[in-house]
Structure 1
Amino acid sequence: MVSAAPAPRVGYIGLGNMGAPMARRLVDWSGGLVVCDARPSATEKFAAAGVAVAASAAEVAARATVISVTVLDDAQVREVLTGDQGILRTARPGTVVAVHSTIADSTAVELAQLCRARDVDLVDAPVSGGAPGAKQGRLAVMVGGSESAFAAVQGPFGCWADLVVHAGPVGAGTRMKLARNLLHFVSFTAAAEAARLAEHAGLDVRRLGEVVRHSDAVTGGAGAIMWRETTAALTGDDPWLPIMSHVRDLGEKDLRLALDLGDRLGTELPLARQGLEHLAAGLGLPHPTRQSTGADDDR
C-alpha cells in the first residue's frame, strides 16, 4: 500500500487585511507554516501561536515549497519575487508561488517566465469574497497555472477557500478576477443609481438595500444568468431561449417602468437607459421592438 506524500510546508508573505485571516486558517496545516511581513506587529500573533516567522521572502523560500503572496500591487509582487531578498534567491526547484494580489495579467505571465527559468512554478490566484470571506474560509480563488501547480496548491487553498477554480494557464486567474470585478463595480454604480431613484421617491434606501441583499441571496443576483458556455446569439433550438426571452421581456418591462418613474421625479438614470438598450443583446437575443419595426429607439 502506497502512503500519501507528506504535506508541503507552506509560506505566507503579506499579512494585511486579506493575508492575515487567510494565513491564520493555515496555522494548523500539517506540513507547517512560515510567515513574513514587513511589519513586525503583523507576525506577533502568529509567533505566539507557534508559527515560524521569517525575516525576508528569501528566508520563506528557503523553508517552504508552496508560497502564497498577498501584497499591494505589481511592484510589490515583483520585489517579493525578484528583489535582493526575494523568493527566487533561494527557492528550490519544484517550488510553487501563488500570487493572490490582483495584478496585471501580463505581469503574471512575465513573472511566471522568470520563475520557470529557475524551475519554479508561479500561479496567479486572485481571490473574491473580501475580508469576511477570508475570515470564514469562504473565499473563491481563481487559479491560472499548470495542472501540476494547481494540484500542489489545492490542499492549502482549501483551508481558506470553499471554491477553488482552475481558470486556465498563467494569467487566466487574473483575467477571470478582472471580469468578476467589472461586474462587481458596475453593479455598485447601478446600486447607487437605484438608491437615488428610491431616495427621490421618498423611500428608505436602507430598507431597499435589505430587500436587494435578501433577494440576491435567493436568486444568485447577476450571476444567475452566467450559466451558458458562450455569449453568442441564441439559436431557435437552444434550451436557454425561453429562459433568456423571459428575462429580457421582464427586464425591459421593469426598466421602462423605472425610467418612467425617474422622468416623473426628475431623476437621471443613465445606466438604466443603457440597460434597456443592451439587455437583449447581452442575453443573446434580438430586441423585440427593433426586430419587428426596425426602430432605433423604442423607449
Structure 2
Amino acid sequence: MTQSTADATLTGVYPAMCTPFHDDGSIDFDQLRTDAQRLEAAGVDGLVPMGSTGESATVSHDEHVEVIEAVVGAVDVPVVAGAGSNNTSEALSLSRRAADAGADALLLISPYYNRPQQRGLREHYETIADAIDLPQIVYNVPSRTGRNLDPETVVELAEHERIQGYKAAGGDLGQVGHIIERTRDEQFDVLSGNDAETLPILSMGGTGCISVAANVEPRRLCALVGAARSGDYDRARQLHHDLGPLFRALFIETNPVPVKAAMAISGHGNGNLRQPLAELAEEHREPLESVLDRYEPLPGGEN
C-alpha cells in the first residue's frame, strides 16, 4: 500500500516488531504474520519490522527483505521498514530492496560504530533520501550508535521532502522540544522511540511513537496516544502511569530480550533470540511475570 511522498503522515502507534525464531534459529514466518495481524487488530497505525527490536543486526540481507515482505503481505496498515546501516552503500541497497518489497516508509538508524561527524550524518541521510522515493524517518539513538544527531542537523534534514520524521530515542527531552519547535512549519513528524517519553513528547507536539511496549500492550498504547492527541491529558496521564511498570520492565536488560520474554509469557511465540543475545536472566523473569499480571484485557479484545 505504498503512498506518495506528499500524502504520507507518520502519526500514532507503530510497534517496533520482534522477529520470531524457531528453535533451530530460522525465522518463524507463521508467528511473524500472526504477530502482525494481532497488532493490526488491536488498532495500531502501522508496523515497524527490522529495527533493533527486530534483531536486524543478526539477520542476513535476504532474511531482512523476507521479513519485510511477510509483514507487508500480512496486513493492510502501513509498514515502516528498518533499512539502516553504518555503511551508506549498504543502507542504500537495503532501502531499495525494502521499497521493492512494498514498504510504505523507511526507518534509518544513524551510522553506528564509525561515529561520523554531523556533516557526514547529514550527507548519509540525504544520499538515501535523494535516491529512494519513500517517506523516511531518521533515527537518533546515541546509546547504540555512539553519536548524537544534533538538532541543527535534524532541522536541515527536515527540509528534504522525503525526510518526513524523526524517531527520538536519545533521552534528551530538551533536544526533542528544540527539534519540534524548529520544524513546526515543515511536513515533519516527531515520534518517541522510548516508551516512557511518549507522553512528554506528545505534549510538546510530537505525533506518536515507535514502541517496544506496544508488542505486549498495543491497545493501551493506542489509547494513551489517542487520548493525548485528542487533548484528554487526564486519561493519557492515567494510562502513562499504568504502563510505567511495563516500560521499566521491558528495559531491565538489553532490548529486545525482555520484550521477547514478555511475549512468550503472554502466549505470543517462544521468545527465542539469536546470538549474541541470551535469554532473560532468571532473576528478572518472575518480576516481569508479576508486571504482566497487572494488565487485564481492555474492552474490545485481547491487549
The structure whose RCO (Cα within 8 Å, separation 6+) is larger is 2
Q: Place the TM-score, normalised by the shorter chain, in its bin.
A: 0.3 to 0.5
How high is the TM-score relative to the length of structure 1? 0.37
Output the TM-score relative to the length of structure 2: 0.37
